[in-house]
Amino acid sequence: MLRTLTARLTLWHTAIFAALSVLLFGLVCLALKTNLRARTDEELRNESGEFEKLYHRDGIEALRSEFRTEAESEGFKRVFFRFFSAGGEQLLASDMSAWGGLDAPPPAAASLPPGESLLATATLPGRSHGARVIYRKSGGGGLIQIGVTTEDDDHLLAHIHKVFGATIAVMLFFGGAAGYFIARKAMRGVEGVTETAVRIGRGDFTHRVPLAGKGLEIDNLSRAFNDMLERIQALVEEIKGVTDTIAHDLRSPITRIRGIAETTLTGAQRMDDYRQMAGIVIEECDQMVHMINTMLEIAQADSGVAVFARAPVDLARLAADACDLFHPAAEDRKIRLEIDGTGAPVFALGDSTRLQRVIANLLDNAVKFTAPGGEVVLSIRATSTDALLSLRDSGAGIDGGDISRIFDRFYRGDRSRSTPGNGLGLSFALAIVRAHGGDIAVESSPGKGSTFTVRLPRIPTPPDYQKVISR
Amino acid sequence: MNILLVEDDIRTAQFITKGLAQAGFAVRHAADGEEGLQRALMESYDAAVIDIMLPGLDGLELVHRLRRKKSLTPVIVPSAKGSVDDRIKGLQAGGDDYLVKPFAFSELLTRIQALIRRANRSPEPTAISVGHLSIDLVKRKVFREEREIELQPREFSLLEYLMRNAGRVVSKTMIIEHVWDYQFDPHTNIVEARMCRLRDKVDRPFDRKLIHTVRGVGYLLEEKT
């Protein structure tokens, strides 16, 4: 029970609340007690002063009658008066029947200078309440003593203690309850996250923590949690998808390899058939290996574990090289392949082998999907921050529904299923470009063609750029 | 020429042995690192092919010990791991070349021959000829039956690569890698298109064809009798 944060928070809340209440009430009681005593003391001082004056003026008999009157009016159980000679002998006293066991005046009182007084607290063996006592030295050397019971003050204080005690108890109860509800309310948001996490633990990734405005902290937690879920769900779905496709895309070539080997073995008699079979087997194997390697490279680039060279790369030069590579193939297909631009160098920082492959993949696609008589135009541009490489083709274009999926691994649009390829070229290009801090944008209108634009962070032309060119 | 092959996978060893024997090499096979080390130290080989993953003494350690004993036998290390780190480790241990599995056998053969040539300090040829076709690597000129053939620079590089590997099959991947310095798997016929132009100039006007297509594997330049 005490292990829940709610219980702990409530307990802390209540404990602090209790400590503060007790401290507050203690201070109030102390102040009251002091105040009450000060009032009593003041009265005692005044009264003893009156008595001294009376004694001084009218003599001991006047004092005796005054003692009696006062004791009768106040009540002999509540006050007493005594008068001692300079030698310490009791000369006068009010009714002392209720004050048995009272001590004789202390030596300090006997040695008081005339006119001075001394206050003390006396306890009486037979009574539950003590008394406040004053001694006053008169001018003639006699000692006046007045005592007054503290019973009323004690009662008042006891009553206040009782009231305070009850109040504290009630306050603690409600304070604790309030603390519990506040803690509970705060924790309910966390419980929402926990519940969602538990559901996900059971394999249900569709749940999200509701953002119910339970306070910024909880909402931030929920949002961070939901973002994480979004990413995990995407990854899980991707892994599922990739696993499915691997199973499919590796099964197909394996089926073909097995099939051709089997039919050749059982049917063919001529050496040429065997040669052809061996050739097909090699071709299929090479494609499988290439697919596996590309998948690994994409995964490495995506997860950030890939090690890339970081050297200045001239995109204009890469584009020119790529054009050179594809020129005859494009020409055979009657596709005009050209570079639009001045050829002025535009540099980015990166891995030239991988960027080369990015351009080659894009060009390969463009040439593959452009019908004879069409054109493929590469252009290089630079903005103040970016190096841009665009590839415009007059191919079939990409259907609106496909455009968001063309970068997905193994995704192949309807039109591309019949052409050679493994559906990894664009995924690879995007993964590499993103790992370089760039992006690839696509615009396409079906029937008119597509434009792929690779954006990479641009760097200034390095000072040794002549060397790069002449290499 | 004899080659030491240290490879624990018997089937892999069989095909490499068979392929190298076909290319005219004598091959000695060792199935584990210890045996490989003993043979490499006791006997003399022109080159060694040493796999990394071996039972007992692994390939990198084997090469390392070989180099400590001052053995200069050129070593090529084929490995299933393809990361840059592994290549560097392989080369640092003392390997002379590194090949990622699965590799094309023709690639292995080319590299072994290159290693042996380098180790023997064979001078770079200034001209190569196959049958009546000859190329001058210095002046970058091509002749066939005394007639000069005009080639574009890329076509020349392509022919040069085929000539240097005359008699051996070179794959499209190898061609793209060596002639264009690209590493990718095209789905368009970029190599075929270039090869077609080269053939138009080098082979077409003549009766005897020198450049042959080996379906599924690549191309082969040789004078077939």
Residue identified by tokens 């001052």 is B70
Are residues B163 and B178 in contact, defined by beta-carbon separation less than 8 angstroms? no
Beta strand spans in A394-448 (E): 439-445
- Predicted local confidence at residue A420, as pLDDT: 72
Main-chain dihedrals φ then ψ at residue B148, nearest 5 degrees: -80, 140
Closest residue in chain B to residue A367, using alpha carbons only: B188
Name which of B71, B68, B145, B78 is nearest B112 in CA terms: B78
Q: How many CB atoms lie within 10 A of CB B149?
A: 18
DSSP state of A103: P
Sorting pLDDT into bands at 50, 70 and 90, what band is A417? Answer: low
Token pair recorded at residue A310: 């970081």
* Percentage, residues of chain A above pLDDT 70: 97
A452–chain B nearest CA distance, Å: 18
Q: Is the pLDDT of residue B156 over 60?
A: yes
Residues from chain B that touch A357, judged by Cβ atoms under 8 A, are: 182-184
Cβ pair A324:B173 closer than 8 A: no
Across the interface, of A279, A325, A331, the residue whose CB is closest to B180 is A325
Beta bridge partners of B29: B5
Higher pLDDT, A239 or A181: A181
CA distances to B14, B29, B31, B55 from B10, rounded to whole Å, are 6, 10, 8, 13
Q: Is A167 on the interface with B (CB under 8 A)?
A: no
Give the model's confidence band at B84: pLDDT under 50 very low, under 70 low, under 90 confident, else very high: low
Q: Please give the Cα distance from A150 to A128 (Å, whole number).
A: 10
Cβ neighbours around B4 below 10 Å, total? 21
How confident is the model over B8-18, as a mean pLDDT?
A: 91
* Tokens of residue A129, six digits: 């309440």
At residue A141, the pLDDT reads 79
Is pLDDT of B17 > 90? yes
What is the per-residue pLDDT for A415?
65
The residue among B106, B171, B190 with the most chain A CBs within 10 A of its CB, best to mutate, is B190
Q: Do A360 and B186 touch (CB under 8 A)?
A: yes
Mean pLDDT over residues B189-196, rounded?
91
Residues of B in contact with A425 (CB under 8 A): 187
How many H-runs (helices) and E-runs (strands) does chain B carry?
8, 12
B189 to chain A, closest Cα gap in Å: 6
Reply yes or no on whether the pLDDT at A105 is more than 90. no
State the nearest Cα–Cα gap between A209 and chain B, in angstroms: 41
Task: Tell me the three state secondary structure of residue B64.
Answer: helix
Provide, as residue numbers in chain A, all residues whose Cβ is less than 8 Å from the Cβ of B82.
293
User: Closest chain A residue to B184 measured between Cα atoms?
Assistant: A357
ipTM above 0.90, yes or no: no
Q: Which residue has the higher pLDDT, B124 or B113?
A: B113
Tell me whether A1 touches chain B (CB under 8 Å). Answer: no
- Asked if the model's pLDDT at residue A77 lies above 60, the reply is yes
* Nearest CA-CA distance, residue B216 and chain A, Å: 4
Q: Which residues in chain A have Cβ-Cβ distances shorter than 8 Å to B182?
A: 325, 356-357, 360
Report whether pLDDT(A58) > 50. yes
pLDDT for A452 equals 94
**Pair A98, A108: CB distance under 8 Å:** no
Residues B73-77 have a mean pLDDT of: 91
* Alpha helices (H) in A304-424, listed in sequence order: 315-332, 352-369, 400-403
Token pair listed for B151: 């080639």
Residue A468 has pLDDT above 70, yes or no: no
What was the pLDDT predicted at A455? 95
Distance from CA of A295 to the nearest CA of B (A): 13
CA distance A305 to chain B (A): 11
Closest-CA distance, B17 to chain A, in angstroms, reads 18
pLDDT value of position A9: 85
pLDDT for B83 equals 62
Output the pLDDT for position A360: 93
Q: Where does the pLDDT of residue B157 fall: very low under 50, low under 70, confident under 90, or very high at 90 and above?
A: very high
Question: Nearest-CA residue of chain B relative to A419?
Answer: B187
Q: Average pLDDT for residues A360-373, to the nearest whole number?
A: 90
Token duo for residue A117: 């007084």
| pLDDT computed for residue A109 by the predictor | 80
Mean pLDDT value across residues A408-422: 72
Query: How many angstroms separate the CA atoms of A216 and B142, rounded?
Result: 78
A61-69 average pLDDT score? 86
Average pLDDT of chain A to the nearest whole number: 85
Q: Which residue has the higher pLDDT, A22 or A470?
A: A22
Interface mutation vs chain A, best among B79, B155, B173, B187, most A CBs within 10 Å: B187
| Residue predicted with more confidence, A197 or A370 | A370
Does the pLDDT at position B160 exceed 90? yes
> What's the one-letter identity of residue A154?
D
Inspect the interface and report whether the beta carbons of B194 and A419 lie closer than 8 Å: no
Residue in chain B closest to A324 (alpha carbons) equals: B154
pLDDT of residue A107: 81
In angstroms, the CA A375 to CA A193 distance is: 55
Tell me how far apart the alpha carbons of residues B91 and B99 are, in angstroms, rounded to a whole number: 11
Query: What integer pLDDT is reported at residue B98 of this predicted model?
Result: 86
Highest mean pLDDT pick, A94-108, A288-302, A342-356, B110-124: A342-356
How many whole angstroms separate alpha carbon B95 and alpha carbon A214?
64
Residues from chain B contacting residue A282 (CB–CB below 8 Å):
104, 216-217
Question: Taking a C-beta distance cutoff of 8 angstroms, is the pair A366, A395 a contact?
Answer: yes
- Calculate mean pLDDT across residues A186-201: 80
What is the reported pLDDT for A470?
A: 41
pLDDT average, residue stretch A243-259: 83
| A340 and chain B in contact, CB less than 8 A | no
Chain B interface includes A352 (CB < 8 A): no
Which of A29-33, A37-41, A266-270, A358-362 has the lowest average pLDDT? A266-270
Residues of A with Cβ-Cβ distance to B89 under 8 angstroms: none
pLDDT value of position B82:
60
Q: Which residue does chain A place closest to B196, by CA atoms?
A: A328
Is A347 in a helix, a strand, or coil? strand
Q: What are the distances in angstroms from CA A421 to CA A184, A287, A365, A443?
A: 59, 9, 9, 22
Structure confidence at residue A471 as a pLDDT band (50, 70, 90) = very low
Q: Phi-psi bin for A397: left (phi > 0), alpha (psi -120 to 50), beta?
A: left
pLDDT-based confidence at residue A416 (cuts at 50, 70, 90): low
Q: Please compute the mean of the pLDDT values over residues B151-161 and round it to a whole number.
A: 92
In the predicted model, is pLDDT for residue A189 greater than 90? Answer: no
Q: What pLDDT was estimated at residue A375?
A: 92
User: How many contacts, defined by CB atoms under 8 Å, are there between A and B?
Assistant: 78
Residue of A nearest to B190 (CA): A329
pLDDT band at B134 (very low <50, low <70, confident <90, very high): very high
Q: What is the mean pLDDT of residues B99-111?
A: 86
The answer to whether residue B103 scores a pLDDT higher than 80 is yes
CA distance linking residue A184 with residue A5, whole number of Å: 9
The radius of gyration of chain B's CA atoms, rounded to the nearest angstrom, is 19
**What is the predicted pLDDT for the residue at B136?**
92
Residue A453 pLDDT > 90:
yes
Work out the percent of chain A whose per-residue pLDDT is above 90: 23
Average pLDDT over residues B116-132: 85
Can you say whether the dihedral through the CA atoms of A232, A235, A236, A237 is positive or negative? positive
Distance CA B134, CA A419 (A): 39
Q: What is the mean pLDDT of residues B185-191?
A: 85
Residue of B nearest to A327 (CA): B190
pLDDT tens-digit series, residues A285-320 = 888 888 888 888 888 888 777 778 888 999 999 999
The listed range with the strongest mean pLDDT (A17-21, A439-443, B66-70, B104-108) is: A439-443
For tokens 């996978």, what's the residue? B9
Report yes or no: B54 and B33 within 8 Å, Cβ to Cβ: yes
Count the neighbouring beta carbons within 10 Å of the beta carbon of residue A412: 17
A308: nearest CA partner in chain B: B84
In angstroms, what is the C-alpha Rg of chain A? 51
Q: Do A328 and B196 touch (CB under 8 A)?
A: yes
Q: What is the largest CA-CA distance in chain B?
A: 59
Shortest Cα distance, chain B CAs vs residue A457, angstroms: 23
Q: Which of B154, B193, B215 sits opposite A276 (nearest CB)?
A: B215
SS3 state of residue A412: coil
